[in-house]
Structure 1
């Protein structure tokens, strides 16, 4: 599926006069100027949503560009199109695109970064986005335990710090049943404390932390337990608490 999306994106770029060469990209307008994937994304990704394609096909093409260029800006154009169109992009196609890539056995940093800073940090989209990429699927993850589903779960958990605690806590509690997700859950709890927009309930987070089977030498586990036991909700609301905890636990 992704291979087909990549080839469709490559053909679409060729129709725009843009083609890939050994070290980057060139356009018919300036064939002697080597372009980066980032330049191509900033210049052409938005045009995907300005054409005559049906909205669902636009989304699929945009994800193909993301696969081809591996550039975060493509996800920005997807988000902008969802916000600024007369009606939102088809949710099933949009979130299926995210889920497929979160399950892929390759680097998907642009996708996880997009979730973290664009969808999860925005309180108007955070709950729905989290539900689409993991919350509504966690029972299936626990039941099936396939590597692809576990891969998606790990990636979502690790960037879920900004998601409101009441939204993500049921998913976290379900994920505790899977030792394969414990390391990701630890990073999720740590991010909930450290992220600028991180959110957690100290007592509930501490209860979850104490259920995680982690290596004895897990870095910062003791410090995280210390700040949660003291009732600290966020690093930025309690300046100095983390440094004090690190010193106390060293």
Structure 2
């Protein structure tokens, strides 16, 4: 899927006069100037949503451009298009695009970063985004336990810190039925405390933390246990709490 979408995007770029060379990309306008993937993304990603095709096809082309360039700016333009006067984008095309790439074996750092900063940190979109990429599927993940679904769940859990606690906590509890996801739940709890927009309930989070089967030397587990026991909700709203925990656990 990703390869086909990427090749479609490559053909689309060629129609815009942009082709890949050994050291980067060149355009018909300035054939002697080698462009980086980031420069191509900044110059052309928005143009995808001006194409005279259906919105779902625009989304598919944009994700193909992401596959080809692996640049965050492409995902940023997807978010902007969804929030534009012509938006929202078709939900099936949008979230299928995210789910497919979260399940893929290839690196998904750009996709998870986009989820984190563009969708999860914005509380007007985080509930829906989290539900679409994992919340509605978590029971299927537990029942199926296929590698792609486990991979998607792990990636989403690890970047889910900004999602409202009431939304993500049931998913955390269900995910804990899969031992392979325990560390991802831990990372979710840790970022829920440390992220500027992170959200958790200390008592409930501590109960989950105590049920996780983690190596005894798991980094920051003791410190997280300390701050949750003390009732702290967020690093930035409890000045000095983490530093005190580090000293206490040293």
Task: Judge same fold: TM > 0.5, yes or no.
Answer: yes
TM-score (norm 2): 0.99
Residue aligned with 2:238, SS: coil
1:176 corresponds to:
176
Residue aligned with 1:7, SS: helix
The Cα offsets for residues 30-64 of structure 1, whole Å up to 9 and x where unpaired, read as 00000000000000010000110110000000000
1:80 corresponds to:
80
Q: Distance in 2 between matches of 1:22 and 1:135?
A: 42
The Cα offsets for residues 123-178 of structure 1, whole Å up to 9 and x where unpaired, read as 10000000000000000000001110000001000000000000001100101111
1:1-250 aligned at under 5 Å gives the runs: 1-250=1-250
Residue aligned with 1:162, SS: coil
Query: Does the aligned pair in 1 maintain the 2:81–2:87 contact within 8 Å?
Result: no
TM-score (norm 1): 0.99
Q: Distance in 2 between matches of 1:71 and 1:13?
A: 15
The Cα offsets for residues 186-213 of structure 1, whole Å up to 9 and x where unpaired, read as 1100000000000000000000000100
Residue aligned with 1:25, SS: strand
121-130 vs 78-87, greater mean Cα deviation: 78-87
Residue aligned with 1:188, SS: helix
* 1:70 CA drift (Å): 0.3
Q: Distance in 2 between matches of 1:92 and 1:36?
A: 31
Deviation >4 Å, runs of 4+ = none
Q: Distance in 2 between matches of 1:91 and 1:189?
A: 28
